[in-house]
Amino acid sequence: DDDKVRDLLKETALGQGSRLKVNAGFIEGNTVSCTGAQFCGLGLIETKANAESIAKKLESMVTVDRPIRIHWTGCPNSCGQVQVADIGIMGGPARKLDEATGKMMAVPGCKIFVGGRIGEDAHISLDPYKEGIPLEEDSLIPELVGILKT
């Protein structure tokens, strides 16, 4: 039924610029997120939009040779299962210098977990690799690129 597949691939939902991809990359196609603060009262950060945005940017910045599972969760309940991901991002407190006042201010932030695995060689990453990272892309993306390049 190759004709049906070709017809399906012509659908506008799968077209250029669509959020849906037939062949998502090794990063985008393996990103997982809980519902986050948008729909969960326990969420400390908005996870879904951040996960999608950052996965797309990482996909264009870093070449990886295997699927990289990046899991996002908004709080310590870990519905996004960050401890079993290659890279796990958990909402948490962070501080950043406010240049206008010269004071450290609370901002949305995260803890990063590295090295979780599933399957026969499973490993749970219980201790954060880094904590207190501001969620803004200027702070988070360089940290993730550094992890992906090691």
> 59-107 pLDDT, tens per residue?
999 999 999 999 999 999 999 999 999 999 999 999 999 999 999 999 9
The per-residue pLDDT for 21 is 76
DSSP state of 68: -
**Taking a C-beta distance cutoff of 8 angstroms, is the pair 143, 130 a contact?**
yes
The per-residue pLDDT for 9 is 81
Determine what percent of the chain is predicted with pLDDT higher than 70: 99
Total residue length of the chain: 150
The per-residue pLDDT for 104 is 97
Closest to 72 measured CA to CA, from 61, 64, 62, 84: 84
Residue 23 has pLDDT above 90, yes or no: no
**pTM as predicted:** 0.88
Half-sphere exposure of 115 (CA within 13 A, CB side): 9
What is the identity of the amino acid at 77?
N
Residue 22 has pLDDT above 80, yes or no: no
The per-residue pLDDT for 80 is 96
Residue 19 has pLDDT above 80, yes or no: no
Q: Which whole number is the average pLDDT over 34-38?
A: 96
